[in-house]
Structure 1
């Protein structure tokens, strides 16, 4: 019997090649889309789960409450938190402090240095995390403060095919290079690791990096604290111990004033939790994974619905087969098995084609999603694919199996079979379902595209094009005060100005501690004002050319002036947000109200400009030439970026390649020890929204696939409708019906269904996109025009699809149509 079922299934498959191809191709597209996006989503959800102790690993966070009720939370924690936790919380098994900084590294004097992200950790790092040692002794990774552990990728980059063990890697710390000996090589961090690394040094060097004050202050934060708890420990039960610990560490008065709270975040919660600051970890908005998972399921579901609607539409052509088989003794259960078997066979074929599509498209998808995913065919994967095929065949074949097997033989053989009524309505419901979600995806695609266009074209308050940023080569170090680093950068700038004066394209060069394209943010500083209220602001240390170089608009007062010596000593410039925040009616001549600030005054106010991305609102900002003005009076310092002074070069349009080449030649003469690392401001701004760009491309692809699958269904349905109404169309043509009236006749029903789908889709899409846009402080409005455009696009696609069959019906000779009946 099974052999007979298989034989009939193949016979029907090849007998109806067009409809079989439509079903297989539609399912294959849905499966390929589901596989690719599913791999990406699973990779996102599996972050950090590969560690054997992942259920016991936590990242510490700290939270302060200001007198005015604001909470300041950070996953960047003070260095002193680690030893305090170890000495007060016995439930902690292992603890490490991760301090990440960017600096230069090289293997010899002759080699050009490379910029590396260096991570300072202790031995417990390798007891907490399961990063595999592939060369070297795991028990003696940090045998001395000058030991260094590097990733496989870094080993290949610096040493090629030479054994790196006991080789010397020079890393710049402060003003000079320091030699470190390679003791081990560890595997590259997996793609689903929130902790990234290439070079690791022991935390014995931490004091050299953050200074003695940084080691002891509770309010200077630099890196992140990770720890493991002993088995069976509930982190919630430690809250009381944390409170008692902090009261003892800070003293009752300061503890009550700041309400300094310590908490723990599970390691596996970090990657998809945006409620806490990212710290040094890789963090993604979980909404993106849910959106992508929904798109994958919707495309597959639309493909299954497509299968059902086409199978029901073709039921009339198999009605006599069912009637005869029932007449000669076939029972309904066997017929259901037959039709489910055909669905399973078709889904298996679609699975094979879909996997082929996925393999072919995987490189494109990896480029699209910035991942390195791979399809693996182990026993678990093959079993999952077979279960997916079975699931698809059950979902896609359940309604056709019930409908086809339920035909009454007498009605079928007497020609009284009627598929209108409930069955027709179900078919219409399926079409509405397909187009509803297709329209939701189209609206999502248009919304994301328009928002990206908005953020890329919005006036950011400074000049974006024809501006180049160049790393100075000087790095912050506790041994070298900030003002000295800036003085050295300024001295180098003067030499650059002299050497570049022969280049007419270079107009202005400025020096600053940060530039607007450093997405991790500028200095964030806090202080207590005259009323002992906690107040905070962002800061940047700049020279007199910073504002002209970026074209920032002054709305009151004046810019810093090199002709006025007191500016470099006591002048500050604030933005409009700071004026509003501090409540200054006439800001010129005012000063910050904190009692510890040295003598200073406001000489100018700039229009608000976006020194961070459009995801965040513009906050109070202070620009100063003298760092001591601000550092003298603050109580909190948050550094989310490596403080490496940078040069901003404003240039006129011309031969960019030649200009950059000339600047590089000058740079190699002026600073031969520093790499020539430059970027164009407009290019870096474009990369700030890569996440949204990736989402836009994936949603656009998903929407396109959904529309294609829905149109395949419409094409098949319209074809079957024309076949069923052949006699009616022939009679209408004989009676003088025009070509346009016949087109309208065929298109009318589908137009109504698409209209209903739009009415359903519009509120769903509005809610979903409203939620997505909440992630932006500056965003577009969801106007009626956007929805109307999506509805008209869906209607146009449906008309084009159905009209092909309508036009075919027009050119059929009515004599042939009537004869066929």
Structure 2
């Protein structure tokens, strides 16, 4: 029986090639898109789950309000980790990471350095918390001794050409030798620590033993024992604050913890599950730039939408075409076919078509995966060996086939054969017409929402690119690792300044991109009370920083070599002046400390106020900032005049190689840095517009098929109207207006939903575009135009047909 069902199903698919193609291609396109997005979502949700006991590992976060600033930190004080381990038996082990930034690294016996972007100090307990396989060395002692280093398998091959460089030496920043005591397997790409390739022993830095309860610099992780509830454990942080932190506050501010809280300030420690970090954490001092759970939700919804549009399209065409088979049903029933057999026949055809679509979808997704990986900046692989993957695909195809074929199967199989064969039954009943209309509206509701979403995302990205930031990011060449020049930094700057295309230059470790940050607390001189403190960033700059960045002064002046007293001068921004409460802060004195131990006090005189500029992401409001004169060797920044940039870079590189032989020349442009901050939004925009276009294409395939079916069904009516004098325009309008009504209803339904969703997305930015009415009107107009172009092809074709051909049989 099944063989007979399949044979008849195959004949029907071949008989109606056009509609079979529309059905199979539309559904396969939707399934392929849904499959790619599902692989993306699964990849995002899998971060850090490869570590053993991942469900028992938590990171300590700190939320601080002090001095007019709110800070959400992914770091904690240096003594917190091992204090918790000592005081609470619920904790099995702890580990701290301390970022050491980018470093120049080479073998001790080599002369050429390589750039290592992310180097971290780590406690010897690192491999007891994170179950990363060790290829060489002992996991318990590899990071125990000072000047020990554990490198990844990739770095072992990069520096030594082998995976067993045990006992060999690496020179870090041309001044410290570290001995390789271990080689670890590369940290998986699906980890928030994915870019960590080099771990230096924490005992190599004195910062790890400063006992500074007020200085937050260490990513701190806790491995709980079995059965411990982390939420319940968080209550113990209040004890830590009272027992340890309060003493530091008393010595620093002369106030109690209670007084600090009464003034509206606070310090709160919380625990974040390791597996939540990638998608739920966007704090200061993250180990890596993380993902965003919002985008996972968005893409999951888009995947559901695409699959829904494809299924609706499939069902719509199946329902429309099924009416033409009413006489077939009548004959079959007259010859004795049971209703159950007819239902089975229709469902078999639908499921067969669905499996054809699934096969094509798998091929499409497999071929498109490299392009999708490039678009999404991922390394997703096709899970060919995963049986669950195939089982879910087969079940999905089966469910889609059954759902799509259920309405025509049960609707047509209920016809009475006598009425059908005598043409006394209305085959296009209200039920099927209403159903198809509802499905068309549903399709275009989704399409309108995706069009609006795409437009809003791109408008926000354009706003980010064109917004006045308070500094000029264009034509700014940044030469990294200026410390490799040793004592020739100033000479290098002066030599490059002689190039004809260079306008100005500055040496600094701090730039107006979110990668630069250092927070310090200042007080007005003579007013060291906790309610008078101001927390702001402190950037070490040179005399040319303000000029090179083209910052604008709101009052006072910038640093000037003509004033020796500027060595203790400070320039603040308008936000800092507002927090201090000074109408005219120039000439006022403030003081702060140069060290976490609070032993090196420095008094500063405010010499100028710079206008607010965006030194962080546009997701955040502009905070308090200060500039001080201090010798720095992080980067040398050159403002070019707009001439031949590649030639200028080549000239700068030649001077670098002359003054720093053997040191890698690394450079970047500031506008690229700025773009990188919003790379995730750019990827979202590109993915969004791709799948929005696919959803519209699928919807148009269905609309094209329905318009062809409508024109075919009304052929004789069109012939009569033409004989009675109807023009081509009249016929096109007649056939199109029904669909346009449905699109307008879809616009009215989809626009409010799109407004709600995009308003929520924009709320993540402190600075964003407004949702204007014309954006929704433009999206609606685009949907109408697309629908008209789709429908009009069949309408015009039907209207131009010779009426004699359609009426000669009457």
Give TM-score scaled by structure 2 length.
0.92
Report the equivalent of 1:634: none
2:343 to 310, 313, 336: 336
Answer yes or no: is the 8 Å Cα contact 2:114–2:664 preserved in 1: yes
Match of 1:600, SS state, is strand
2:586 to 569, 585, 588: 588
Gaps of 5+ in 1: 476-487, 628-642
Match of 1:97, SS state, is strand
Q: Indicate the larger mover: 592-601 or 744-753.
A: 592-601
Answer yes or no: is the 8 Å Cα contact 1:543–1:625 preserved in 2: yes
Rounded to whole Å, the distance in 1 between the matches of 2:336 and 2:458 is: 59
1:624 to 604, 625, 628: 628
Q: Indicate the larger mover: 370-379 or 492-501.
A: 492-501
Q: Do residues 468 (structure 1) and 477 (structure 2) align?
A: yes
Match of 1:608, SS state, is coil
**CA deviation digits over 1:108-165, x for unaligned, max 9?**
3322332341222233221222222234454553363333221122122222357433
Deviation at 1:261, TM superposition (A): 3.8
Rounded to whole Å, the distance in 1 between the matches of 2:573 and 2:498 is: 35
Deviation at 1:318, TM superposition (A): 0.9
Rounded to whole Å, the distance in 2 between the matches of 1:49 and 1:421 is: 53
Q: Do residues 302 (structure 1) and 309 (structure 2) align?
A: yes
Q: Do residues 318 (structure 1) and 314 (structure 2) align?
A: no
Report the equivalent of 2:258: 256
Q: Indicate the larger mover: 133-142 or 606-615.
A: 133-142
Gaps of 5+ in 2: 251-255, 261-265, 594-599
Match of 2:8, SS state, is helix
Rounded to whole Å, the distance in 1 between the matches of 2:455 and 2:496 is: 46
Match of 2:100, SS state, is strand
Q: Do residues 611 (structure 1) and 606 (structure 2) align?
A: no
**CA deviation digits over 1:214-252, x for unaligned, max 9?**
x31011121211121111111233234332233222357
Q: Do residues 404 (structure 1) and 394 (structure 2) align?
A: no
Q: Indicate the larger mover: 583-592 or 717-726.
A: 583-592
Match of 2:761, SS state, is helix
Deviation at 1:312, TM superposition (A): 0.9
Deviation at 1:263, TM superposition (A): 2.8
User: Given the superposition, is the C-alpha separation of residues 796 and 611 from structure 1 closer, same or farther in structure 2, using an over 3 Å criterion?
Assistant: same
Rounded to whole Å, the distance in 2 between the matches of 1:179 and 1:559 is: 41
Report the equivalent of 2:575: 577
Answer yes or no: is the 8 Å Cα contact 1:74–1:277 preserved in 2: yes
Report the equivalent of 2:205: 206
**CA deviation digits over 1:676-705, x for unaligned, max 9?**
221111122122211000000111011000
Q: Do residues 458 (structure 1) and 467 (structure 2) align?
A: yes
Answer yes or no: is the 8 Å Cα contact 2:316–2:702 preserved in 1: yes
Deviation at 1:39, TM superposition (A): 0.6
Report the equivalent of 2:367: 360
Deviation at 1:336, TM superposition (A): 2.2
User: Given the superposition, is the C-alpha separation of residues 560 and 67 from structure 1 closer, same or farther in structure 2, using an over 3 Å criterion?
Assistant: closer
Q: How many residues align?
A: 783
Report the equivalent of 2:223: 228
Give TM-score scaled by structure 1 length.
0.91
Question: Cα RMSD over matched residues?
Answer: 2.3
User: Given the superposition, is the C-alpha separation of residues 655 and 23 from structure 1 closer, same or farther in structure 2, using an over 3 Å criterion?
Assistant: same
Rounded to whole Å, the distance in 2 between the matches of 1:95 and 1:556 is: 49
Answer yes or no: is the 8 Å Cα contact 2:497–2:504 preserved in 1: no
User: Given the superposition, is the C-alpha separation of residues 615 and 240 from structure 1 closer, same or farther in structure 2, using an over 3 Å criterion?
Assistant: closer
User: Given the superposition, is the C-alpha separation of residues 736 and 223 from structure 1 closer, same or farther in structure 2, using an over 3 Å criterion?
Assistant: same
Rounded to whole Å, the distance in 2 between the matches of 1:134 and 1:410 is: 80
Report the equivalent of 1:285: 292
Rounded to whole Å, the distance in 1 between the matches of 2:411 and 2:185 is: 57
Report the equivalent of 1:126: 127
Rounded to whole Å, the distance in 2 between the matches of 1:624 and 1:400 is: 77
**CA deviation digits over 1:760-805, x for unaligned, max 9?**
0110111111011111111111111111111111111111111110
Report the equivalent of 1:165: 166
Report the equivalent of 2:390: 382
Report the equivalent of 1:799: 788
- 1:50-65 matched pairs, under 5 angstroms: 50-64=50-64
**CA deviation digits over 1:393-437, x for unaligned, max 9?**
233333233323233323321222232412211110000000010
Q: Do residues 672 (structure 1) and 661 (structure 2) align?
A: yes
2:799 to 810, 813, 816: 810
Deviation at 1:67, TM superposition (A): 8.6
Deviation at 1:383, TM superposition (A): 1.5
Q: Indicate the larger mover: 571-580 or 233-242.
A: 233-242
Report the equivalent of 1:704: 693
